[in-house]
Amino acid sequence: MAVGATAPVQVALAADAVTEAFEAFIPVGARRGAHPDASGLVQLFAQDADSTWFVRLREGRVALLDQPDARTELQARAAGSASDIALALWGRLPFGICDVVGDERLLQALRVE
């Protein structure tokens, strides 16, 4: 992905790329731009990998959640192939390639450099 590829990525590799973004890159500040006003709960759902990531944005910070509080409402959701989600998260494709519901600005705030 480092060379700007937009070709589909193998399902397992794409799912790993999404997890790696939240576990390794975002915690060290490798996000595109500052998003101090981004606040809410986001769900990314890779249909072909049957994988879901819940992400909390609050005051410019991002936290990957195991499971959100059942009382918390989603502010944004992107569903699609693991490849499409990974490529959108890494800025290779627009999130619009996925089935997006809610505030797309929150999805943009998750993009990795």
- What is the per-residue pLDDT for 33? 75
Mean pLDDT by 10 residues, the chain (113 residues): 70 95 85 81 97 92 87 94 96 94 94 87
Is 59 a domain residue? yes
Q: Which domain holds residue 69?
A: 11-108
Domain tally for the chain? 1
Is 86 a domain residue? yes
Is 98 a domain residue? yes
CATH code where residue 49 lies: 3.30.1050.10
Is 113 a domain residue? no
Q: In the chain, what are the helix, strand and coil shares in percent, each to the nearest 5?
A: 30, 25, 40
- What is the per-residue pLDDT for 61? 86
Query: 63 CB contacts (<8 Å, ≥6 apart)?
Result: 55, 56
